[in-house]
A and B are shown apart, each in its own frame.
Chain A
Amino acid sequence: GAVVSQHPSRVICKSGTSVKIECRSLDFQATTMFWYRQFPKKSLMLMATSNEGSKATYEQGVEKDKFLINHASLTLSTLTVTSAHPEDSSFYICSARPGTDFYEQYFGPGTRLTVT
């Protein structure tokens, strides 16, 4: 159990366009979802925490107007990278935490974004 999916797994887009990444908890309800970014050979960097039905909480230095997060249901959160630039190229990973379990996060497989 506790499966989290992400779509797409890989995306290449042109500078200036927007990209939406979906994160779904397949077999549990996730009251909280997390979005991370990871640069090559670096650890995970938390971008934002989203709770179902409320606005996301962004970490310091993360532009909320550039990285739009929507947690519309207990099983779906989306991250939209708006007006993407090459420096936004990265590995984006989501994780989900069940409402009844405060200590475990289940990770999605990640999305490799390349902006040309």
Chain B
Amino acid sequence: GQNIDQPTEMTATEGAIVQINCTYQTSGFNGLFWYQQHAGEAPTFLSYNVLDGLEEKGRFSSFLSRSKGYSYLLLKELQMKDSASYLCAASDSNYQLIWGAGTKLIIKP
């Protein structure tokens, strides 16, 4: 079956770095997405990886290893506004997104 696993909740300190991991199993693979979702709002796109390696975009970076079925989202210089849920989603052979349950990130001062 198809499955996405990511931690339920993580806590980090303002200014620090946090890494949110995601493992996936899908029927076919057409890329891995990370979305940010603040409470009561729709998800917003953060990153897309389809090739192995690290994609850097400002304070946020995303890594993919296709052979391991593994990705992570790295957030640097954490700010209070980064407190949100981070959703990992894998695109399967039909380009349908398979969603993880999301990781709630709590930032403490």
Chain B contact residues: over half helix, strand or loop, or mixed?
loop
Asked if A107 is an interface residue, CB under 8 A from chain B, the answer is yes
Taken residue by residue from 89 to 116, chain A's Cβ proximity to chain B (1 for < 8 Å, 0 otherwise) reads as 0010100010000111111111010000
Residues of B near A44 (CB, < 8 A) are 43, 87, 99
User: Distance in Å from the Cβ of B83 to the closest Cβ of chain A?
Assistant: 14
Q: Report how far A112 CA is from B44 CA in the complex, Å.
A: 17
Asked if A43 is an interface residue, CB under 8 A from chain B, the answer is yes
Residues of A near B91 (CB, < 8 A) are 103
Q: Is the CB of B42 within 8 A of A46?
A: no
Q: Is the CB of A103 within 8 A of B99?
A: no
Q: Is the CB of B95 within 8 A of A49?
A: no
Chain A contact residues: over half helix, strand or loop, or mixed?
loop
Number of chain B residues whose Cβ lies closer than 8 Å to a Cβ of chain A: 21
Number of chain A residues whose Cβ lies closer than 8 Å to a Cβ of chain B: 20
- Choice from B31, B40, B102 contacting A43 with Cβ under 8 Å: B102
Residues of B near A103 (CB, < 8 A) are 30-31, 48, 50, 91, 95
- Choice from A42, A93, A105, A110 contacting B97 with Cβ under 8 Å: A105
Which residue on B lies nearest to A49, using beta carbons? B96
> Which A residues between 32 and 74 are near B, CB-CB below 8 angstroms?
41-46, 49
- Choice from B42, B45, B96, B100 contacting A108 with Cβ under 8 Å: B42
Q: Is the CB of B45 within 8 A of A110?
A: no
Q: Is the CB of A43 within 8 A of B99?
A: yes
Q: Is the CB of A43 within 8 A of B97?
A: no
Taken residue by residue from 81 to 96, chain B's Cβ proximity to chain A (1 for < 8 Å, 0 otherwise) reads as 0000001000100011
Binding site for B on A (CB under 8 A): 41-46, 49, 91, 93, 97, 102-110, 112
Binding site for A on B (CB under 8 A): 30-31, 35, 40-45, 48, 50, 87, 91, 95-97, 99-102, 104
Ordered by A's residue number, 11 sampled pairs between the chains whose C-beta atoms are within 8 Å are: A43-B101, A45-B99, A49-B96, A91-B40, A97-B95, A102-B30, A102-B95, A103-B31, A107-B35, A107-B43, A110-B42
